[in-house]
Chains A and B, each alone.
Chain A
Amino acid sequence: QVQLKETGPDLVQLTQTLSITCTVSGFSLTTYNVHWVRQPPGKGLEWMGAMWNGGGTDYNSAFKSRLSISRDTSKSQVFLKMNSLQTDDTAKYFCARGTQPEYFDYWGQGVMVTVSS
């Protein structure tokens, strides 16, 4: 069955870099897109970016040049890296499978990341 699982730190220091891995199973990264979505505590959902099945990426301009998404298809993993973390980056970070025309039909459980000063 389709599964996505995020792994990453629960605490990151201010101005440091966040790295999260999304490991997928039950589908191929060369067939489906994988997206990153975050949710600050008590707030709504924010799309961050995507790894397309063809290997390209797309980013929300709100994150400017702070965000990088990559993948390792041999390990069925998609990676999120975001630098210069601030306290308002405290959020739960989800990866989700995208099905054309890009609705999110499977989600990971998310990883809660706190940015600490």
Chain B
Amino acid sequence: GAGVSQSPSNKVTEKGKDVELRCDPISGHTALYWYRQSLGQGLEFLIYFQGNSAPDKSGLPSDRFSAERTGGSVSTLTIQRTQQEDSAVYLCASSPTSLNTIYFGEGSWLTVV
């Protein structure tokens, strides 16, 4: 597609449920990033993919968080047993390997009640 596409745009879930957030990067971009933005806060790095591998998972806050990428394209961020503190906007970004700029999607707004 023309830009980074994320779904769902909004998700309300009950505490303890699992959620999956999807990111479809810009076509041809091999680098993919997930960031988290809590209300009124800056962007917190979660994980980075180069192709299908994740050389940097350092930002995942706990083992309830996992992410995968298949076919060097779509990525899924999974949060298991959601907690209220997981409520945030989850932003995906992609980048071509030869350039250093990253482009963001609109984000997935997650609310855990």
Q: Do A and B bind each other?
A: no
